[in-house]
Amino acid sequence: ADGFDVDGPGFGGGKQIRDEESGYNKNLFRIPKHYEEDLERVFIPHGLILDRTERLARDIMQDMGSHHIVALCVLKGGYKFFADLLDHIKTLNQNGDKSVPVTVDFVRIKSYCNDSPAEKISFVGEELSTLNGKDIIETGRTMKALLSKIKDKKPRMVKVVSLLVKRTCQSPGYRPDYTGFEIPDKFVVGYALDYNEYFRDLNHICILKENAKEKYRM
């Protein structure tokens, strides 16, 4: 077995990566030279991310494809997933028997310093007034705080899409409606996920070396 299992009901239909799964040798992939010494392993290759994202787009359109959708991106960590997900939704809109308007909005949340969640969650420059009475797809993390803000705008429907859900004892038990991958409690970077703003320019999701945390620590 390769460590990837499709979850049953209650896990958002995500692919489950087992605790013992260590990923792939980074030498099998193209890694930017400025990060070669900082990464332990490639955890989820870029191609697998894109394939999973395409399936999520199909599921979303099947469930919500009869409504005007406002796609809300959580910045900065969600921008790559958001862009690729919207590309797949756009393709389905163009090639399917039916299509719906999709508009976009953005909210920026700052909740991490180094590799630990910050005590205070900061919403930076959010503009959520466009959500009134709309159906929403949201991508990103720190859902409880953001969903509380969104609820005040009285949208007709809210669906949460998250590329990653981490199995951790600190989890509040919240599950998104759509999940790309359920992963062990590992600190990962890449595909717009950062460590103090570094590694967003890495295509694959990778495991960071412990000494790299000290190298880039604020």
List the chain domain ranges: 4-215
17, 3 Cβ separation under 8 angstroms: yes
Distance CA 54, CA 86 (A): 9
- pLDDT score for 117: 52
pLDDT, tens digit, 9 for 90 and up, residues 83-126: 999 999 999 999 988 888 999 988 887 655 556 554 455 555 55
178, 159 Cβ separation under 8 angstroms: yes
Which tokens go with 126?
């959010």
Kindly write down the DSSP assignment for every residue of 144-207, as one continuous string: HHHHHHHHTT--SEEEEEEEEEE--TT--S---SEEEEEE-S--EEBTTB-BTTBSTT-SSEEE
Number of neighbours of residue 144 by Cβ within 10 angstroms? 9
pLDDT band per the 50, 70, 90 thresholds, residue 14: confident
Cis peptide before 213 (omega within 30 of 0): no
If one looks up domain 4-215 in CATH, what number appears? 3.40.50.2020
- pLDDT score for 194: 93
200, 194 Cβ separation under 8 angstroms: yes
Distance CA 49, CA 191 (A): 9
Helices (H), the chain: 46-64, 79-95, 143-151, 210-215
pLDDT, tens digit, 9 for 90 and up, residues 123-160: 555 555 555 555 555 555 467 777 777 777 777 888 88
Strand 188-189 relative to strand 15-17, pairing: unpaired
With tokens 């862009």, the residue in question is 83
Q: Which residue has the higher pLDDT, 110 or 28?
A: 28
For the entire predicted model, the pTM comes to 0.81
Q: Is the pLDDT of residue 206 over 80?
A: yes
